[in-house]
């Protein structure tokens, strides 16, 4: 399972590198707050937890973020907003080790 996850992370990273992972939205200024607000707290926690687990399993920051953005169709700004919320609200302590 770990090898599959690493392989998927690698493939997602390569694909996003080739097509460019920078997404510019029409609402660039407030997009991340609006987009993350549309996600339920449960969804935001799940995204946060999955990112932490990918990185704990050995994926690089870039690979794990690429996988999460691709899987959940979210922007870098939305992911950053979720990460900040997770750290501020102590979601790390809720993740099973």
Query: Is the overall model pTM greater than 0.75, yes or no?
Result: no
More confident residue, 24 or 70: 70
Nearest to 36 by CA among 79, 3, 95: 79
> Distance (Å, rounded) from C-alpha 83 to C-alpha 2?
23
Phi-psi region of 40 (alpha: psi -120 to 50; beta: other; left: phi over 0): beta
Which run of H or of E encompasses 32? Answer: helix 31-38
Percent of the chain with pLDDT over 90: 54
- List pLDDT tens digits, range 22-67: 443 334 444 555 556 689 999 999 999 999 999 999 999 999 999 9
């Amino acid at each position: 399972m770990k090898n599959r996850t690493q392989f998927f992370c690698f493939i997602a990273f390569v694909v996003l590198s080739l097509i460019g992972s920078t997404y510019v939205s029409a609402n660039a200024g407030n997009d991340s707050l609006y987009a993350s607000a549309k996600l339920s707290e449960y969804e935001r926690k799940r995204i946060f937890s999955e990112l932490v687990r990918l990185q704990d399993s050995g994926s690089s920051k870039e690979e794990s973020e690429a996988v999460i953005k691709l899987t959940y169709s979210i922007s870098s700004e939305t992911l950053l907003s979720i990460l900040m919320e997770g750290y501020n609200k102590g979601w790390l302590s809720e993740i099973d080790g």
